[in-house]
Amino acid sequence: MSGSRPSQSSEGSSRRSRHSARIIAQTTVDAKLHADFEESGGSSFDYSTSVRVTTPAVENNQPPRSDKVTTTYLHHIQKGKLIQPFGCLLALDEKTFKVIAYSENAPELLTMASHAVPSVGESPVLGVGTDIRSLFTAPSASALQKALGFGDVSLLNPILVHCRTSAKPFYAIVHRVTGSIIVDFEPVKPYEVPMTAAGALQSYKLAAKAITRLGFSL
């Protein structure tokens, strides 16, 4: 009976991946594979060995590693323009909503104070272990929490949020992968807030299209 559990878990993961339209596939696993490939120089890379070493943690529903490999990989995604270069990307633990990795430009975009907005209290710091809700205003944090609590987190995309330090508006595009949640933040011009429903949907479609390209290219 125990031999059937990995199979059932794999089938569940497969269903979740298909349900998300393969928008992003196994971010942490891909980060490890990418790192292994880069280290090999492309000449002695053993894909099958790397997969066997990497996948058990995902199949056993263990949380993804909060290490430099994943962070570097997310930044590589940004530099490769597979995610819009004017936005940023966060990877979250799906149970705690705490940051496990982020693109290099995320702290500047999401936590830098604006001179036009008075600072109230201490400014939040973005790093591994930061609760994503602490980066945004109370209404925005509530909206994010509501979306992250859905079985299909993409149902409420895009989510309009405002940074706590600068009050800058962003569209949060949320997607679930095995063991974690990926959030793509795209800046919204002040004069576009509030947007019409059609405008918001168009923004989401553009973001989703870029993330889909990422999923198919991995």
Domain region containing 124: 4-217
In this prediction, residue 56 has a pLDDT band, given cuts at 50, 70 and 90, of very low
Whichever domain contains 122, its CATH number is 3.30.450.20
pLDDT winner (highest mean) among 26-30, 34-38, 80-84:
34-38
pTM of the predicted structure, to 2 decimals: 0.54
Task: Kindly report, residue by residue over 150-169, the tens digit of the pLDDT.
Answer: 877 777 888 999 999 888 99
Distance CA 12, CA 6 (A): 10
The domain total for the chain is: 1
Q: Phi then psi for 214, rounded to 5 degrees?
A: -60, -45
